[in-house]
Amino acid sequence: MSEEKQEKGALGKVGDALHTVVDPIGQQFGNIGHSLADAMGNVLGPKIDVTGKIFLTGAMGVVSYRAAARLLESQIPPDHAVRLGARDPTKLEDFNEKGAEIVTFCWDREDTYESALKSVKTVFCITPYVKGWEEKFPLFLAACKKAGVQYFVKLSFYHARAPNDPFQAVPLVKLHAKCDNLLAKSGIPHTILSASHFMSNPMVFQGKTIMKDEKPAVFYGSSHEKGVNYVSPNDVAEVAVRVLFDPRPHLGKEYALTGPEAVSDQTVAKLLGQAFEKPVMYVDQPIKTFEESERFSGHPDWMVNDLVALETIKAEGIEDSKSFVSDDIKNICGHDAETFEAYLEDRSHMTPKEMGTPAA
């Protein structure tokens, strides 16, 4: 799912934590941070100019947060500045101290689009998970085209554009497909990153309970002990940065980003408990009970419809199949997809909300 509205706090230490990860990337690309003009301006040929600024939406979310930190640690030259958009720019002050431009950007305020996209040649777009987001995406895409954006990378959901796929029963997935198709027809050179469920989901929704409360943490679902494919946001962010750094091999392509294997939600609870040394319980419910409890909790109908559809697919065991696993992360990054254990082990990469700090 898309993510936005995190909080500052742990921002300051993410750069140092990611430094050792970014350096090898820079080495593999031949000091790419210092020669981004060559890497981005020349690899695409004379008809495409991507030597301008890189604009990232959703910078407080689990993927853009990590991608922004990686980009900034790459020592990008001033004419390739990283620009981050947020409803409240003060939440990104630590990124500003590391060299990012911070601008006001709100999906529900079209008047912020033009200024956010000024001098931007590359966009990494993560849509917000709010009602009606799919109505804003075409407007933002049109603004990108008007602004002269030359390369557009969008985060999507696994199987979004697969016709007759079971995931088409999920409203969120269908909306991503609609927007992905608009991007494909826009004429803007693009790449689509289609990710499975994020390993960060339990932390985002239960991070405060897991990290700070003394009482046992509990999360609910209806996957009925079937395996679920969770992908690490660390891997998704790395793929995004590599694609942004070297667009040419990825133009017009869509990548399926998955974890290395399916794990049950019961196993996820066990791993969380081991990592944080406290009781964490997964409660499996009949799908009708799950739906009723989600509605009772106050979640809007459109969100409950997404959650119920996703849990229904999980319970069918579709993600248990080895055919669900993609090698795209390994092919792009040169290493295997991160395991759930590895994601939990290194918490220095986590966003404030994953660490239990509520969004403002």
Amino acid at 358: P
Amino acid at 152: F
**What range defines the domain where residue 130 resides?**
11-199+232-259+322-337
- Please give the helix or strand (H or E) that residue 347 lies within, else none: none
Per-residue pLDDT at 349: 85
Residue 292 lies in a domain: no
Count of domains forming the chain: 1
Residue 273 lies in a domain: no
Asked if pLDDT for residue 197 goes beyond 80, the answer is yes
If 0-12 CB within 10 Å is exposed, 13-18 middle and 19+ buried, where does residue 84 land? buried
How many Å apart are CA 160 and CA 312, to the nearest integer?
A: 16
Tens digit of each residue's pLDDT (9 = 90 or more) over 267-311: 999 999 999 898 999 999 999 999 999 999 999 999 999 999 999
Structure tokens at 42: 């020349």
Question: Which has the higher per-residue pLDDT, 42 or 182?
Answer: 182
* Residue 241 binned pLDDT confidence (cut-offs 50, 70, 90): very high
Tens digit of each residue's pLDDT (9 = 90 or more) over 302-343: 999 999 999 999 999 999 999 999 999 999 999 999 999 999
How many Å apart are CA 227 and CA 161, to the nearest integer?
A: 23
pTM of the model: 0.86
Q: How far apart are the first and last CA of the chain?
A: 19
Residue 349 lies in a domain: no
Asked if pLDDT for residue 231 goes beyond 80, the answer is yes
CATH number assigned to the domain comprising residue 121: 3.40.50.720
Q: What is the mean pLDDT of residues 3-28?
A: 41
Q: What angle do CA 195, 196, 199 make, to 5 degrees?
A: 105
Question: Which has the higher per-residue pLDDT, 342 or 24?
Answer: 342
Q: 310, 233 in Cβ contact below 8 A?
A: no
Mean of all residue pLDDT scores within the chain = 86
Amino acid at 219: F
Per-residue pLDDT at 204: 87
Per-residue pLDDT at 74: 83
How many Å apart are CA 234 and CA 329, to the nearest integer?
A: 11
Residue 348 lies in a domain: no
Per-residue pLDDT at 284: 97
Residue 165 lies in a domain: yes
Residue 49 lies in a domain: yes
Q: 189, 220 in Cβ contact below 8 A?
A: no
How many Å apart are CA 150 and CA 122, to the nearest integer?
A: 6
Radius of gyration from C-alpha coordinates of the chain: 19
CA-nearest of 69, 81, 85 to 4 is: 85
Residues near 109 by beta carbon (within 8 Å), at least 6 away in sequence:
none
Residue 342 lies in a domain: no
